[in-house]
Structure 1
Amino acid sequence: MTRRIGVLGGYGAVGSAAVRLLAARFDGIVRVGGRDGKRAEAAADALAAGEAAEVDLWDDAALAAFCRDCAVVVHAGGPSYQVVDRVARAAFAAGADYVDAGGDLPLYERLAGTERRAVVTAGMMPGLSGLLPRWLAARTGPVGRLETYAGVLDRLTPAGAVDYLLSLGGRDAESQAVWQDGRRVTRSAAPQVDVRLPFFPGVVSAFPYLGYEPERLAQQLAIPDVRWYSVFDGGAAMMSTLARLQGAMSGEGDLAAAAAELAEAAELDMFGREPYQRMVFTAHPADGSAPSTLVAGSRDTSVLTGTVCGLAALQVLSGAVVPGRAFAAEALDAETLVADLRETDALSVFELLTEAAELREASEEGVL
């Protein structure tokens, strides 16, 4: 029997990248689903082995039909805060495993007790941002201190803008927090405003926070100290818009209108500039030896997220992921994912720097 992987939202910015990856690496049928049947057909017709499905994820019968006969269902469309576990439950009912490009803690918590394979936050951040430090730690040995700087200058999709707003709303408890001496320490790190950081172009600002991903990373790898920074590049329009959208961040008011306003601000900040995504991880070995820095980046957030999502689906299909719910950063085989990811065009930079001279030279050149 021919195997199928279904990608819901398969013609969108993230889903189309997952579909392209699967079309190149999967020897079965890729089912492309979405509300617009014509767009789904166009996307499926471009594949050697594709099929289209017109499906509204809020239509129980249509969603069940989409999941039927799929070995894995990938969700790459719709705001996570609305969808939560709706698609996952339909996949499980059809006997399929599940991969979600987003979801975060709410979805992870909803999937407690499942016996199917379910991988959540299989995207760039969170996701790849938690997996790459594990890849790095496998090369350095036990880590005594980890510093991470992650920044994005890119456009926002409508669903991405909604999820971004809500993620910021949960940052109060995380803002300026660090992992120090094996525990969370709140309000202990100051922002770095209008500074030049290695491997980031121009002047940026870095805001420390400790979300669930770095905290779980610190606990699981027994790293005593973790400093995690979100980097903002310019962003005058976005920053001023965010200051007006405090209610939307907490789920109040018209989220769709707020998301549209934020997406427009992001577009203004992009004027005359090239998009980029950059993640810089510096691991200081526990034995006091020289630190190693991993610099990874892309020119398209959606392409990188969708590519990671597609690779996650292949690992689930292969049986490399154990049954049960899991975050992508913790469930996926880091060596395999990084090796496969580097064979795609989703990364514009991937450099491991281990010597002081290498770090200085690469920082001066921007590694690009």
Structure 2
Amino acid sequence: MKNRTIGILGASGQVGRGAVETMLGSAEFPIVLGGRNPEKLREQYRRAEPRAVFMHVDVYDSESLRRFTGSCDVVINCAGPSKQVLDRVASACLEHGVHYVDVSGDEHLYKRLRSANREIEEKRLTFLVSAGVYPGLSEMFPAYVAETGLDEVELLELFFAGNGGFSLNAAYDIVCSIQEDTGRGMMYGKNGEASKMDRPFPRSYPLPPPAGERNVYPVLHDEFLSIARSRRFREAMFYNTYPDNAILNKFMTIKALELYKTEEQKLASARMLVEQFGAYKQPAQAYSMFHLLAEGRKDGKPLRLGATLLYNNDWNTLSGMVAANAARLVLEDGGRAPGCKYAAEGVSPVNMMNVLGEQDVHLAHSVMEARAGVNHERT
């Protein structure tokens, strides 16, 4: 296992740094760091030598991409924007028989790669899409809570909050997602299907510290719906949260005015989002949080369960950590469950939570037993 090599693309960005630092701090795998300026990478990661090899790679140059993927056993793709990179890196990995982990990608890339799923399976490869925080951890966390705390889930509500910023590439991807309507507002999962919000939901919610009171907006992505369907959550809601409505209004303005029809409009909208998120970013108080509420049954008993996942750093760093750990778990699995999958379905949520718990990601939970109309709290 120690001889298996992990390649990381986009290592100079904040997400990529999270992946590199996770690999350097928690595993002995050799790593190959690829980018258009390998000397800059070498300077950035001097402490990684001699474990690390630095290679020139341009994801838009097929020959350099083939050389890079051919030197790896699994590739973590943190390069972006994913809406432009598309399946270039994944296709090179498939050609060389290399496992693939994409920190973003979402359902757009997933659908592209599913068309090659037979070849991926025949080569005993695992291709993971959406292996970041949101989507990614936003599905792994509720799957973990359900697997360890409940036999049946009647109702699940998941809130996401954080204090961090976006790179221009990430903001560009968000604008493209608004254009494609991949995140459907005012929708939730009901009996495994997408449904318009037809039940009461909180317009604001008091989250645990450091988030506090946040404005709430329900949104449904295919990844979240997929995990709700596979885990048989009867009703499942995901809420993005905001310190106030200014950011949400920016999203709605981009959608309503269709500020994405040309490349110039997409870039201008992306810059607007970067600026808006930057106004709230406070590096000294960066955090990423998921707060979950669920109702269901365990051993035949009705339960109400609450759980909070907190990482006291930026969500970009956490995305890199999730992707790096997903790559480790893929290698440890040895291709026993091949195919193209969303990350939450391709790695064990329990194993992911266990390794994140060793890397300063904090989990807290409480269980309320409903007996004869009286709730008893357990921690």
Cα distance in 2 for residues equivalent to 1:173 and 1:241: 15
CA distance in 2 between partners of 1:94 and 1:43 (Å) = 28
When you count strand as a share of all residues, which structure comes out higher?
2
Q: CA 1:188/1:156 → structure 2, altered by over 3 Å: closer, same or farther?
A: same
C-alpha contact 1:182 1:223 (8 A) present in aligned 2: yes
Query: Equivalent of 1:336, from 347, 351, 359?
Result: 351
Partner of 2:276: 265
**What is the rounded CA distance, in whole Å, between the counterparts of 1:343 and 1:26 in structure 2?**
12
Could you say which residue in structure 2 is the equivalent of 1:131?
140
The root-mean-square deviation of aligned C-alpha atoms, in Å, is 2.5
- Equivalent-residue separation in structure 2 for 1:189 and 1:232 (angstroms): 21
Letter in 2 for 1:164: I
1:365 matched residue in structure 2: none
Equivalent position to 2:131, from 122, 133, 147 = 122
Task: Report the counterpart of residue 16 of structure 1 in structure 2.
Answer: 17
Q: Tell me, which stretches of 5 or more residues in structure 2 are unaligned? A: 369-374
Tell me the equivalent position of 2:190. 180
C-alpha contact 2:207 2:214 (8 A) present in aligned 1: no
For the residues of structure 1 that align with 2:89 and 2:188, how far apart are their CA atoms? 35
**Equivalent position of 1:62 in the other structure:** 64
Cα deviations by residue, 1:45-75 (Å, 9 ceiling, x for unpaired): 3214011112111111111111122101110
Give the TM-score of the pair, scaled to structure 1.
0.88
Of 293, 302, 323, which residue of structure 1 is paired with 2:306? Answer: 293
**Alignment match, 1:166:** 176
Structure 1 residues 271, 17: closer, same or farther in 2, change over 3 A?
Answer: closer
- Superposed displacement of residue 288, structure 1: 5.7
Q: Distance in 2 between matches of 1:251 and 1:144?
A: 43
Contact 2:163/2:314 (8 A) holds in 1? no
Match of 1:366 in 2: none
Who is 2:4 aligned against? 3
Separation in structure 2 between the aligned mates of residue 104 and residue 182 of structure 1, nearest angstrom: 19
Matched residues in 1 for 2:205 and 2:187: separation?
22
1:219 aligns with 2:229: yes
Give deviations 1:150-182, integer Å, cap 9, x for gaps. 123311111111122223334488221223355
Select between 324-333 and 250-259 the one with higher mean Cα deviation: 250-259
Give distance in 1, aligned partners of 2:218 and 2:38.
Answer: 43
Give the C-alpha shift of residue 241 in structure 1: 3.8
Query: How many residues are paired up?
Result: 356
Distance, in Å, in 2 between the alignment partners of 1:204 and 1:165 is 23
Letter in 2 for 1:28: F
Instruction: Give the aligned partner of residue 77 of structure 2.
Output: 75
Structure 1 residues 26 and 274 mapped into 2: Cα distance closer, same or farther (>3 Å)?
A: closer
Q: Give 1:214 deviation, angstroms.
A: 2.4
Partners of 1:352 and 1:173 in 2: how far apart?
28
CA distance in 2, matches of 1:35, 1:20: 20
**Residue number among 318, 335, 353 corresponding to 2:332 in the alignment:** 318
1:302 maps to 2:316: yes
Cα deviation, 1:308-363, whole Å, max 9, x if unaligned, reads 10001111112255111011111111121111111113x2x32111146769xx9x
Conserved? CA contact 1:315–1:332, under 8 Å: yes
User: Pairwise mapping of residues 228-267 of structure 1 onto structure 2 (< 5 A)?
Assistant: 228-234=238-244, 236=246, 238-246=247-255, 247-249=258-260, 253-267=264-278
Deviations 1:189-241 (A, max 9, x none): 56644x342326343211112221221122111121112211112263x3454
Change (3 A) 1:62 1:182: closer
Contact residue 104 and residue 131 of structure 2 kept, 8 A: yes
Residues 70 and 273 (structure 1 numbering): CA distance in 2 closer, same or farther, change over 3 Å?
closer
Task: Return the alpha-carbon distance in structure 2 between the equivalents of residues 177 and 269 of structure 1.
Answer: 27
Q: For the residues of structure 2 that align with 1:250 and 1:335, how far apart are their CA atoms?
A: 42
Deviation string 1:277-325 (CA, Å, 9 cap, x unpaired) is 2211112114562211110122211111000100011111122551110
Structure 1 residues not aligned, in runs of 5+? 363-368
8 Å contact kept, 2:76–2:101: yes
Q: One-letter code of the match for 1:58?
A: Y
Contact 1:41/1:53 (CA < 8 Å) preserved in 2? no
Of 266-275 and 154-163, more deviation after overlay is shown by: 266-275
- 1:53 aligns to what SS in structure 2? strand
The whole-number CA distance in structure 2 between the counterparts of 1:158 and 1:129 is 22
